[in-house]
Structure 1
Amino acid sequence: MVLKLYARTGWGGGGGLVALTLAEKQIPFELVAISLAQKENKTPEFLAMHPFGEVPVIDDDGFILYESRAICRYLAEKYAHQGTPLLPTGLQERALVEQAASVEFANFFPAVLGVVTEFVRKPMSGKPADDAASAAALTALSAVLDVYETILAKRKFLAGDEFTLADLFHFSYAPMLADAGVPIMTSTGPNVARWWNDLISRPAWIKLKEEGIKGTAT
Structure 2
Amino acid sequence: MVLTLYGNSLSTCAKRVGQVLLEKQVPFQVVEVDLSKRENRTLEYLSKQPFGQVPYLDDDGYIIYESRAISRYIAEKYADQGTPLIPTELKAKGLFEQAASIEQSNFDAYANPAVYEMIIKGYLGLPRDKGYFDKLIAQLEPRLDVYDEILSRQRYLAGDELTLADLFHLPYGVLLVEAGSNAMEVRPNVARWFRELVERPSWQAVKDGVKSTA
The TM-score range, normalised by the shorter chain, is over 0.9
User: How does 1:190-209 map onto structure 2 within 5 Å?
Assistant: 190-209=188-207
Contact (CA 8 Å) 1:101, 1:166: kept in 2 or not?
A: yes
The answer to which of 72-81 and 113-122 deviates more is: 113-122
Q: CA deviation at 1:120?
A: 1.6
TM-score under structure 1 length normalisation: 0.93
User: Distance between the aligned counterparts of 1:25 and 1:85, measured in 2?
Assistant: 8
1:213 alignment counterpart: 210
Deviations 1:82-130 (A, max 9, x none): 1111011100001100001011111210110232133323343444553
TM-score under structure 2 length normalisation: 0.94
User: Distance between the aligned counterparts of 1:52 and 1:127, measured in 2?
Assistant: 22
1:170 alignment counterpart: 169
Q: CA deviation at 1:141?
A: 1.4
Letter aligned with residue 215 of structure 1: S
Q: CA deviation at 1:39?
A: 1.1
Q: CA deviation at 1:180?
A: 3.6
Deviations 1:127-183 (A, max 9, x none): 455343232121011121111011111110000111110001112311112234422
C-alpha spacing 1:46/1:27, structure 2 compared with 1 (3 Å): same
What are the ranges of 5 or more consecutive residues in structure 1 without an aligned counterpart? none
SS across alignment from 1:4: strand
User: How does 1:107-146 map onto structure 2 within 5 Å?
Assistant: 107-146=106-145
Contact (CA 8 Å) 2:114, 2:179: kept in 1 or not?
A: no
1:7 alignment counterpart: 7
Letter aligned with residue 179 of structure 1: E
1:88 alignment counterpart: 87
SS across alignment from 1:92: helix
User: Distance between the aligned counterparts of 2:38 and 2:113, measured in 1?
Assistant: 25
User: How does 1:69-108 map onto structure 2 within 5 Å?
Assistant: 69-108=68-107
User: Distance between the aligned counterparts of 1:59 and 1:123, measured in 2?
Assistant: 32
User: Distance between the aligned counterparts of 1:135 and 1:173, measured in 2?
Assistant: 16
Contact (CA 8 Å) 2:99, 2:158: kept in 1 or not?
A: yes
User: Distance between the aligned counterparts of 1:140 and 1:192, measured in 2?
Assistant: 16
2:148 alignment counterpart: 149
C-alpha spacing 1:157/1:51, structure 2 compared with 1 (3 Å): same
C-alpha spacing 1:111/1:61, structure 2 compared with 1 (3 Å): same
User: Distance between the aligned counterparts of 2:125 and 2:49, measured in 1?
Assistant: 31
User: Distance between the aligned counterparts of 1:125 and 1:37, measured in 2?
Assistant: 10
Contact (CA 8 Å) 1:115, 1:141: kept in 2 or not?
A: no
1:39 alignment counterpart: 38
CA RMSD of the aligned region, Å? Answer: 1.4
1:182 alignment counterpart: 181
User: Distance between the aligned counterparts of 1:128 and 1:53, measured in 2?
Assistant: 24
